[in-house]
């Protein structure tokens, strides 16, 4: 097949010696009617790094993953996986990567083992290696006792584990996890996070995970990029992103307009640019002045507080400050 | 959690991979999914067998036609079986799309045209099996065919090409139609109406002249004429279409029509799949 051969040649030509496992430059996707899903984003993910794409529904995370996995054509810009350009060498880019999709993709009427065999075969794993590799990965992911059953009989958590095992069978250099725990109950979600956290230790790979569960990103990721309306509005390690807030924040639920109260605090020099208001809730870094001074000042404005909390800053604070909206838990992009 | 700056070894996926290699995997997957639902194999058989074994003998006795009329209808039902089975096979494309499996296949390092071709291989295999069953039960009902080596070749070529073309049509329809319900609603128009017009139960010359002309443009008319020529050594349908003296020439022309239909539909199927699967 001429296309495949020429693409393979292009793949070799496109290879780079850079250390970035995922390199994205000026990546843009515009749908008809001028819908700008992704507006020219740039980021790099180093080999072995776990990188998170955070954002609410419609932020452009899934479109970005779609372009990186060659199921969506970029309008402009470039992206490469392990040095293979996703547009000029899509076969090679797909060969070095694997995806755990947001929704199940396994064939429910086939057994778990047969699903893994099909995936291994499509990713050109040598037939002599398929059996041992399935056994090894199934053991590591905890699905070894389920393999001979039809997938239709699996629970949601078991099916998710199988999906992860499936994605690992080809030993991908880059693994995409698209909202891996969405729709799962808290216990299964916690178990699955353990599995995902263990992936890097067991299997040498780069992981790009999209999520709107910020605790998940905080736990799993070396760095995160926050996406908002198709743009990356921040990109750093979770600790660095939280660092801007200092050691502690004061969270106040007031009776009345949060933005108005925030404006007065800022005018009096008691709140800096890291403070933000969502509805009637104010979040203000305490800095060196302490929570009591802030609280007294708020009360001196005649504003009544309904609840007061001091706590260390979280990635939620970073996200809410940057995007000005809460993440819809459990919602799909 | 510490930052990782591990140097990445240069990726070198195999360059000389056989691009057709995954076709067998895709076909095996489709076959296993199909075999897991035996009704997909059996349902398309029911109506043709009913026509061949019950309705044709009944018509023969009611209309006092010759005994060869049973064979005429039995072979004519192949023209119903192929469209029905290929249209049912096309449903699997929508199932893959709705169940999510298509996303997995699209992210695989294989040339994407192989995805519809893998489905095609299984559609051809199951259709061949069903035709064999149909002819087997017809024989068992003492409906006799006139089989020769060259006749079988004409029949096999026509059956294969027509099946490929019809499956291409099914893929195109599945690519264009968003839901299974809408797809199923179109099946009668694509699979059944042409069968009544293409000379399956009676000669196309028995219809009004205008309709006779229209049916000459249906690939099914040519396919059925070739099937009857191949299995019954009866060139009447070919004469009805072409009106020429050379039987072989007429058969070759009809085969050309079916081949062009087959190629156009396969190309359209691959094109539609590539355009609709990747946004």
Query: What are the structure tokens assigned to A324, written together?
Result: 């000005």
- Provide the ipTM: 0.77
The mean pLDDT value of chain B amounts to 85
Interface of A with B in 30-59 (CB under 8 A): 31, 46-50
Tell whether A8 and A28 lie within a shared domain. Answer: yes
pLDDT of A198: 77
Residue A324 falls within a domain, yes or no?
no
User: Distance between the two ends of chain B, CA-based, in angstroms?
Assistant: 37
- Domain-terminating residue out of A220, A237, A254: A237
Tell whether A249 and A228 lie within a shared domain. Answer: no
Tell whether A208 and A84 lie within a shared domain. Answer: yes
Residue A259 falls within a domain, yes or no?
yes
Tell me the pLDDT tens digit for each residue of B105-147: 899 998 888 888 998 999 999 999 989 988 888 888 888 888 8
Q: Is the pLDDT of residue A299 over 70?
A: yes
Q: What is the least distance, in Å, from the CA of A266 to any CA of chain B?
A: 34
The domain spans of chain B are 37-277
pLDDT of B34: 78
Query: Does the distance separating the beta carbons of A101 and B103 come in below 8 Å?
Result: yes
User: Distance between the two ends of chain A, CA-based, in angstroms?
Assistant: 37
Tell whether A144 and A35 lie within a shared domain. Answer: yes
Strands of A50-54's sheet in order across: A97-100, A174-178, A206-211, A50-54, A223-228, A231-236
> How far apart, in whole angstroms, are the C-alpha atoms of residue B49 and residue B261?
26
Give residue for tokens 């279409």: B241
pLDDT of B147: 84
Sort out which chain A residues have CB atoms less than 8 A from B99's CB and list them.
104-105, 107-108
Give the closest residue to A60 by CA, choosing from A227, A183, A199. A227
Beta carbon pairs, A and B, within 8 Å: 150
CATH of residue A37: 3.40.50.300
Other beta carbons within 10 Å of B25: 21
Residue A134 falls within a domain, yes or no?
yes
Q: Which domain holds residue A249?
A: 245-312
pLDDT of B16: 53
Tell whether A153 and A262 lie within a shared domain. Answer: no
Looking at chain A, the whole-number percentage of residues with pLDDT higher than 70 is 91
| Residues B192-221, mean pLDDT to the nearest whole number | 89
B100 touches chain A (CB under 8 A): yes
Q: Which of A7-11, A60-64, B271-275 has the lowest mean pLDDT?
A: A7-11
Strands of A281-285's sheet in order across: A276-278, A281-285, A249-254, A305-311
Residue A182 CA: distances (Å) to CA of A20, A104, A153, A156: 28, 11, 20, 11
> How far apart, in whole angstroms, are the C-alpha atoms of residue A66 and residue A27?
12
pLDDT of B230: 93
Tell whether A263 and A183 lie within a shared domain. Answer: no
Q: Is the pLDDT of residue B45 over 70?
A: yes
Tell whether A48 and A168 lie within a shared domain. Answer: yes
- HEC string of B204-226 equals HHHCCHHHHHHHCCCHHHHHHHH
Q: What is the least distance, in Å, from the CA of A279 to any CA of chain B?
A: 33
Sort out which chain B residues have CB atoms less than 8 A from A114's CB and list them.
32
pLDDT of B4: 38
Residue A76 CA: distances (Å) to CA of A24, A41, A92, A233: 11, 10, 20, 19
Query: pTM of the entire structure?
Result: 0.79
In chain B, whose CA is at the least distance from the CA of A21?
Answer: B8
Residue A331 falls within a domain, yes or no?
no
Q: Is the pLDDT of residue B54 over 90?
A: no
| Residues B215-220, mean pLDDT to the nearest whole number | 94
Other beta carbons within 10 Å of B159: 24
CATH of residue A291: 3.30.70
Measured CA angle at B247 (ends B242, B251), to 5 deg: 70
Give residue for tokens 């020769």: B148
Q: How many independent structural domains does chain A possess?
A: 2
Of A4, A104, A221, the CB nearest to B19: A4
Residue A318 falls within a domain, yes or no?
no
Yes or no: say if A324 and A278 are a contact pair by the CB < 8 Å rule. Answer: yes
Residue A95 falls within a domain, yes or no?
yes
Tell whether A225 and A281 lie within a shared domain. Answer: no
Q: Could you tell me which residues come within 8 angstroms of residue A182 by beta carbon, excluding any fewer than 6 positions away?
A: A102, A211, A213, A330, A332
Tell whether A211 and A273 lie within a shared domain. Answer: no
Tell whether A164 and A231 lie within a shared domain. Answer: yes
Tell me the pLDDT tens digit for each residue of A194-205: 777 777 777 778
Tell whether A156 and A275 lie within a shared domain. Answer: no
């Amino acid at each position: 097949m001429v296309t495949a051969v020429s693409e393979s040649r292009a793949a070799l030509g496109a290879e780079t010696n850079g250390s970035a496992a995922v390199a994205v430059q000026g990546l843009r996707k515009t749908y008809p009617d001028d819908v700008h899903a992704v507006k020219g984003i740039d980021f790099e993910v180093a080999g072995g790094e776990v990188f998170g794409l955070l954002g609410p529904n419609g932020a452009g995370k899934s479109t970005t993953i779609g372009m990186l996995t060659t199921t969506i054509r970029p309008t402009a810009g470039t992206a490469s996986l392990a040095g293979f350009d996703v547009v000029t060498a899509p076969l090679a880019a797909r060969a070095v990567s694997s995806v755990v999709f947001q929704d199940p993709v396994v064939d429910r009427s086939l057994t778990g083992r047969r699903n893994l065999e099909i995936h291994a075969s499509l990713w050109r794993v040598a037939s002599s290696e398929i059996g041992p590799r399935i056994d090894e990965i199934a053991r590591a992911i905890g699905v070894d006792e389920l393999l001979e059953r039809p997938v239709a009989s699996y629970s949601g958590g078991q099916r998710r584990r199988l999906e992860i095992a499936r994605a690992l069978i080809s030993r991908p250099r880059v693994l995409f996890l698209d909202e891996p725990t969405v729709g799962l109950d808290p216990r299964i979600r916690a178990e699955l996070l353990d599995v995902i956290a263990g992936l890097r230790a067991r299997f040498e790979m780069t992981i790009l995970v999209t999520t709107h569960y910020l605790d998940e990103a905080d736990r799993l990721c070396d760095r995160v990029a926050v996406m908002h309306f198709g743009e990356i509005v921040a990109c750093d390690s979770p600790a660095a992103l939280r660092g801007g807030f200092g050691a502690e924040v004061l969270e106040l639920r007031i009776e009345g307009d949060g933005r108005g109260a925030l404006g007065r605090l800022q005018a009096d020099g008691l709140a800096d640019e890291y403070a933000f208001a969502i509805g009637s809730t104010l979040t203000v870094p305490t800095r060196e002045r302490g929570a009591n001074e802030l609280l007294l000042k708020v009360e001196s404005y005649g504003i009544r507080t309904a609840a007061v909390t001091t706590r260390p800053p979280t990635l939620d604070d970073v996200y809410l400050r940057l995007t000005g909206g809460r993440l819809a838990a459990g919602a799909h992009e | 959690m510490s930052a990782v700056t591990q140097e990445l070894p240069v990726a070198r996926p195999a360059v000389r991979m056989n691009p057709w290699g995954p076709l067998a995997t895709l076909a095996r997957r489709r076959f296993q999914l199909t075999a897991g639902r035996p009704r997909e194999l059996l349902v398309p058989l029911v109506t043709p067998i009913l026509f061949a074994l019950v309705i044709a003998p009944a018509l023969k006795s009611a209309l006092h036609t010759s005994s060869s009329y049973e064979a005429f209808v039995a072979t004519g039902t192949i023209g119903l079986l192929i469209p029905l089975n290929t249209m049912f096979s096309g449903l699997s494309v929508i199932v893959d799309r709705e169940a999510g499996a298509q996303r997995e296949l699209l992210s695989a390092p294989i040339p994407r045209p192989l995805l519809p071709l893998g489905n095609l291989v299984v559609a051809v295999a199951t259709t061949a099996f069903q035709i064999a069953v149909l002819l087997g039960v017809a024989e068992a009902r003492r409906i006799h065919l006139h089989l020769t080596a060259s006749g079988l070749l004409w029949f096999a070529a026509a059956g294969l090409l027509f099946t490929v073309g019809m499956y291409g049509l099914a893929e195109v329809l599945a690519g264009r139609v968003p839901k299974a319900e809408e797809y199923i609603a179109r099946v009668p128009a694509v699979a059944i109406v042409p069968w009544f017009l293409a000379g399956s139960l009676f000669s196309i010359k028995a219809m009004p002249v205008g309709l006779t002309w229209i049916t000459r443009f249906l690939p099914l008319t040519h396919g059925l004429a070739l099937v009857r020529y191949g299995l019954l050594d009866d060139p009447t349908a070919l004469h009805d279409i072409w009106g020429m003296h050379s039987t072989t020439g007429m058969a070759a022309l009809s085969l050309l029509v079916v081949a062009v239909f087959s190629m156009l539909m396969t190309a359209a199927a691959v094109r539609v799949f590539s355009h609709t699967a990747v946004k």
